[in-house]
């Protein structure tokens, strides 16, 4: 039962975060690029204020998979690295913690662009 | 031109707003909710799989995001992700798979402009701003945390 | 040749449209006007390496087919007036490179075809040319990557967004045509009008005031009204833009019966085709004019038609810098039957 509850929480919180994005897009004419930037920066700021971590503890992937989760991970990386290395950690931490994701996006983006061709959908 | 009642920009803007149909808000939100929720649930399942594979606390989240990014780019390459996006809107833009789509789609689109300035440069059309502002914000959070750390303890 | 009023050219020496061709892509070929188009492409890449080259190839094929139909060799064609949406109108100039016809490149965004008809008719009527081929094209994929997003990007379009047509229209003008041939009688050059619409997705709203002003100017200059025309076709305002235009006519006291006003962008797609506000792009008014309108004038079904092309004069740069969208419109009067 508790296993199922974890998935329900991930679904509900993840869905709600995406719905906030949808409401923003429908009411403000923000393009997807701006939405993505907005969500990452909000994730960073909310984590810095100590608000986002409880949400991650509650909803798991429901809070880490949306792009504000990337912001959470960037901010946590910076904070953890400051604890270990001091001020320089603020520069190193964010990228270090997310290096795998960023590198994966670059690698898979590149490979797909080399393999596939874009098509117009009639 | 001697139009009799020239319409003013303010008035015209109101006229246009009145005559332009709205997106179907409720339908759009429901679709975004269930698709976004489903992608997050998949992320949760991948996390559980990571535990089964006995990945460490540090590498399990990496595993989840790498697999989701892989799926996002592959579905973009296969020409499926834009269809999902048309249906789900923010439901497939906001999750990390949407970030992967925004890396892959411009790279594919501008391949014909060459390997370096086509794929290489355009790959970051949208990912670039995300990284610029995400990383800058995280540095700011780190610096603020460093400054007030002693005070927090 | 003479001038009427402030903005209108009246062609006293009639300029005949001796042949025309319309080519459309697969999506347009499933729309309500499919039976009227000469060629429906099965593949929008046309065997080329890029979409830009595909658009150019489409222009070449349209011109060649038109000249074939008129029995005119490219070497004897005296001018090609052409434009498209690509930066520096490469689809047109690359086609002109392949065809070798003396070339005048034009840009009027989606109104380019009507701009070409007016200029071509003026040059032919004035005796400077014996013939001129007027053509314009657009391609969904070339426009999308330039003005919006890569095609594989998972985005939603708002209801007011238009769908750039993959289409091309080409008309051959000549001083002496057959007795019953469609001819260009007059043309009105519009002013650029901007009522500060900034939403690049809402081009119908950005262009409607320019169309209203251009048609009103045409009526004033020629002393005519909508009653003198069988049909008034606007270029690419879409369903929403057309409704806005009707409201603008009403406010400007221009009589416009609802059934006489058709919009090319609103006519080329079914609303179920997910094209949102309708079709747009230089090829839309060109292919609909050459396919649907000129053919019906040629057959005698329509006697006099006013085609008012409309263009949204934005660029990706002006949009990103937050500028509003200036609209332009050109109107051309095409007549059929006995002179």
pLDDT in tens, A84-106: 999 999 999 999 999 999 999 99
Q: Which structural domain, as residue segments, surrounds residue A72?
A: 2-115
Same domain, C329 and C195: yes
Q: Each residue of C26-68: pLDDT tens digit? A: 999 999 999 999 999 999 899 999 999 999 999 999 999 999 9
Query: Average pLDDT, stretch C308-315?
Result: 96
Tell me how far the alpha carbon of residue C83 is from its chain's centroid: 10
Quick check: A108 and B43 CB within 8 A?
Answer: no
Subunits next to B (3 or more Cβ pairs <8 Å) are: A, C
Put simply, whether C150 touches B (Cβ < 8 Å) is yes
C123 with C187, same domain? Answer: no
Rounded to an integer, the average pLDDT of C68-72 is 95
Q: Does B81 touch chain A (CB under 8 A)?
A: no
Q: What is residue A32's predicted lDDT score, i.e. its pLDDT?
A: 86
C-alpha distances in Å from residue C132, one per residue of C79, C124, C248: 5, 7, 35
Whether residue B130 and residue A37 make contact (CB cut-off 8 A), yes or no, is yes
Whether residue C4 lies inside any domain: the answer is: no
The length of chain B is: 153
Whether residue A118 and residue C44 make contact (CB cut-off 8 A), yes or no, is no
Residue C164 to residue C147: CA distance in whole angstroms: 10
How far B64 CA lies from chain C's nearest CA (Å)? Answer: 21
Average pLDDT over residues C277-285: 95
pLDDT of residue B13: 94
pLDDT value of position B5: 60
Over residues A9-38, the mean pLDDT reads 93
- Contact: A115, B77; criterion CB under 8 Å: yes
Residue C320 contacts A, CB cutoff 8 Å = no
Q: What is the CATH number of the domain that holds C308?
A: 3.40.47.40
| Contact by Cβ (8 Å): B133, A41 | yes
Give yes or no: residues C165 and C193 share one domain: no
- How high is the ipTM of this complex? 0.94
**Is C319 inside any structural domain?**
yes
Bridge partners of C172, per DSSP, are C19, C133
Contact (CB<8Å) C197/B1: no
Together in a domain, C318 and C292? yes
Number of domains in chain A: 1
Residue B87 pLDDT > 70? yes
Print the domain residue range for C110: 15-174
pLDDT score, position C177: 65
- Report the pLDDT value the prediction gives residue B22, as an integer from 0 to 100: 82
Interchain CB distance below 8 Å, B13 and C244 = no
Is the pLDDT score of C143 beyond 90? yes
> Is the same domain home to C67 and C37?
yes
CA–CA separation, C132 vs B97, rounded Å?
Answer: 52
Residue A48 forms part of a structural domain: yes
Q: Which of C6, C153, C160 sits opposite B105 (nearest CB)?
A: C153
Query: Which residues of chain A neighbour B119 with C-beta distances below 8 Å?
Result: 110, 113-114
Domain annotation covers residue C51: yes
Residue A120 is assigned to a structural domain of this protein: no
Token digits of residue C159: 């209801």
The answer on C226 and C189 residing in a single domain is yes
Q: Are C220 and C159 within one domain? A: no
Mean pLDDT for all residues in chain C: 94
| CB < 8 Å to A29, chain C | 158, 199, 201
Task: Report CB contact under 8 Å: C213, B1.
Answer: yes
Percent of chain C surpassing pLDDT 70? 99
Q: Contact at 8 Å (CB) between C57 and C217?
A: no
N-term to C-term CA, chain A: 45
Q: Considering only the beta carbons, identify the residue of C154, C213, C247 that sits closest to B15.
A: C247
Considering the entire predicted model, what is its pTM? 0.93
Closest chain B C-alpha to C130 CA, distance in angstroms: 33
**Are C11 and C1 contacting, i.e. CB atoms less than 8 angstroms apart?**
yes
Whether residue A85 lies inside any domain: the answer is: yes
Distance from CA of C257 to the nearest CA of B (A): 19
In a domain, A59, yes or no: yes
Whether residue B139 lies within 8 A of chain A, CB to CB, comes out as yes
How, if at all, do strands C304-312 and C231-234 pair?
parallel
Is B37's Cβ below 8 Å from some Cβ in A? yes
C10, part of any domain:
no
pLDDT value, residue B1: 45
Which long-range contacts (C-beta less than 8 Å, at least 24 apart) are formed by C292-300?
C292/C33, C292/C36, C292/C267, C293/C231, C293/C233, C293/C334, C294/C17, C294/C20, C294/C171, C294/C182, C294/C334, C295/C20, C295/C36, C297/C182, C297/C334, C297/C335, C297/C336, C298/C180, C298/C181, C298/C182, C298/C336, C300/C180, C300/C336, C300/C337
| C179 and C338 Cβ atoms separated by less than 8 Å | yes
> How do strand C39-40 and strand C8-24 relate by DSSP bridges?
parallel
pLDDT of residue C337: 76
Asked whether residue C3 is domain-assigned, the answer is: no
State how far residue A29 is from chain B, nearest Cα, in angstroms. 11
Residue C115: the pLDDT is 97
Distance CA A41, CA A36 (A): 9
How many Cβ pairs closer than 8 A exist between chain A and C?
A: 27
**A32 vs C84, residue with greater confidence:** C84
Do both C157 and C278 map to the same domain? no
More confident residue, B58 or C3: C3
Which residues in chain A have their CB less than 8 angstroms from residue B135's CB?
Answer: 74, 94-95
Q: In this prediction, what percent of chain C has a pLDDT beyond 90? A: 88
Domain total for chain C?
2
- C199 near A CB under 8 A: yes
CA C313 vs. chain centroid, Å, equals 14
User: Can you list the positions of beta strands (E) in chain C?
Assistant: 2-4, 8-24, 39-40, 80-84, 103-105, 131-138, 163-164, 167-174, 183-189, 231-234, 261-263, 279-280, 304-312, 327-335
Whether A64 has its CB under 8 Å from any CB of chain B: the answer is yes
**C339: pLDDT strictly greater than 90:** no
Residue C151: its chain A contacts at CB < 8 A? Answer: 118-121
Q: How far is the alpha carbon of A76 from chain C, nearest alpha carbon, in Å?
A: 29
Q: Would an 8 Å CB–CB cutoff place A118 in contact with chain B?
A: yes
Cross-chain CB nearest to A118 (options C151, C155, C166): C151
In-domain check, residue A121: no
Residues of C in contact with B3 (CB under 8 A): 212-213, 216, 252
User: Could you tell me the CA-to-CA distances from B31 to B87, B89, C151 in Å, in that order?
Assistant: 7, 8, 21
- Exposure string (b/e) for C170-195, b if CB count within 10 Å is 16 or more? bbbbbbebeeebbbbbbbbbbeebbb
Residue B121 confidence class, pLDDT cut points 50, 70, 90:
very high
Nearest to A118 among C25, C30, C152 (CB): C152
- Same domain for C137 and C275? no
Q: Is the model's pLDDT at C80 over the cut of 50? A: yes
Same domain as C196, residue C149: no
Which of C49, C153, C190 to probe the B interface (max B CBs under 10 A)? Answer: C153
Put simply, the answer to whether C151 touches A29 (Cβ < 8 Å) is: no
Q: Which of C 120-149 lie inside 8 A of B, CB atoms?
A: 145, 149
SS3 B117: helix
Tell whether the model's pLDDT for residue C121 goes beyond 80. Answer: yes
* pLDDT exceeds 70 at position C1: no
Shared domain for C39 and C68, answered yes or no, is yes
Residue C304 lies in a domain: yes
Residues C215 and C146 in one domain: no
Domain assignment present for residue A63? The answer is: yes
| Neighbouring C-beta atoms of residue A23, cutoff 10 Å | 15
pLDDT score of B3: 52
In whole angstroms, what is the distance from residue B64 CA to residue C102 CA?
60
Q: What pLDDT, on a 0 to 100 scale, did the predictor assign at position A109?
A: 96
CB within 8 Å of chain C, chain A residues 35-94: none
Contact call for A10 and B40, based on CB within 8 A: yes
């Amino acid at each position: 039962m508790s296993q199922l509850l974890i998935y329900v929480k991930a679904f509900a919180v993840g869905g709600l975060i995406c719905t906030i994005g949808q409401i923003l897009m429908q009411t403000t004419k923000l393009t997807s690029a701006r939405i993505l930037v907005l969500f990452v920066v909000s994730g960073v700021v909310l984590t810095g204020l100590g608000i986002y971590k409880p949400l991650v503890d509650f909803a798991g992937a429901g809070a880490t998979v949306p792009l504000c989760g990337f912001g959470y991970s960037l901010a946590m990386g910076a904070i953890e690295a400051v604890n270990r290395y001091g001020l320089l950690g603020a520069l190193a931490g964010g990228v270090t913690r997310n290096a795998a994701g960023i590198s994966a996006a670059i690698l898979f983006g590149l490979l797909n662009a080399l393999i596939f061709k874009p098509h117009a959908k009639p | 031109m001697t139009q009799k009642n020239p319409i003013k920009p303010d008035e015209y803007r109101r006229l246009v707003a009145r005559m332009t149909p709205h997106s179907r808000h409720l339908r759009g939100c429901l679709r975004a909710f269930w698709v976004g929720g489903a992608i997050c649930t998949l992320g949760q399942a991948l996390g559980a799989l990571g535990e089964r594979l006995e990945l460490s606390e540090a590498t399990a989240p990496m595993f989840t995001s790498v697999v989701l990014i892989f799926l996002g780019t592959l579905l973009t390459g296969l020409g499926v992700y834009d269809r999902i996006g048309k249906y789900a809107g923010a439901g497939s833009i906001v999750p990390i798979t949407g970030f992967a789509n925004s890396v892959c789609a411009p790279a594919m689109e501008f391949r014909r402009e060459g390997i370096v300035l086509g794929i290489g440069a355009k790959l970051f059309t949208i990912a670039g701003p995300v990284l610029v502002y995400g990383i800058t914000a995280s540095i700011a959070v780190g610096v603020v945390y460093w400054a007030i750390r002693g005070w927090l303890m | 040749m003479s001038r009427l009023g402030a903005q209108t050219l009246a062609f006293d020496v009639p300029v005949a449209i001796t042949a025309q061709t319309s080519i459309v892509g697969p999506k347009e070929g499933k729309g309500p006007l499919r039976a009227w188009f000469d060629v429906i492409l099965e593949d929008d890449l046309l065997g080329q390496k890029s979409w830009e080259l595909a658009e150019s190839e489409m222009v070449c094929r349209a011109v060649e087919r038109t000249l074939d139909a008129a029995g005119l060799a490219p070497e004897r064609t005296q001018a090609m007036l052409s434009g498209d949406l690509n930066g520096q109108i490469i689809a047109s100039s690359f086609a002109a490179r392949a065809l070798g016809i003396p070339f005048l490149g034009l840009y009027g965004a989606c109104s380019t075809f009507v701009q070409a008809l007016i200029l071509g008719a003026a040059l032919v009527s004035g005796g400077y040319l014996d013939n001129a081929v007027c053509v314009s094209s657009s391609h969904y994929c070339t426009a999308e990557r330039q003005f919006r997003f890569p095609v594989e990007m998972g985005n939603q379009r708002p209801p007011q967004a238009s769908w750039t047509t993959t289409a091309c229209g080409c008309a051959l003008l000549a001083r002496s045509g057959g007795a019953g041939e469609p001819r260009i009688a007059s043309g009105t050059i519009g002013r650029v009008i901007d009522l500060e619409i900034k939403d690049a997705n809402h081009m119908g709203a950005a262009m409607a005031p320019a169309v209203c002003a251009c048609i009103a100017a045409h009526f004033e200059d020629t002393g005519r009204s909508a009653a003198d025309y069988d049909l008034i076709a606007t270029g690419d305002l879409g369903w929403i833009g057309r409704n806005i235009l009707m409201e603008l006519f009403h406010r400007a006291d221009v009589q416009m019966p609802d059934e006489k006003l058709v919009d090319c962008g609103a006519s080329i797609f079914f609303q179920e085709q997910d094209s949102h506000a309708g079709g747009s792009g230089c090829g839309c008014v060109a292919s609909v004019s050459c396919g649907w309108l000129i053919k019906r004038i040629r057959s005698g079904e329509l006697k006099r038609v006013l085609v008012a092309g409309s263009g949204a004069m934005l660029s990706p740069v002006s949009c990103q810098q937050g500028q509003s969208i200036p609209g332009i419109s050109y109107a051309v009067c095409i007549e059929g039957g006995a002179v």
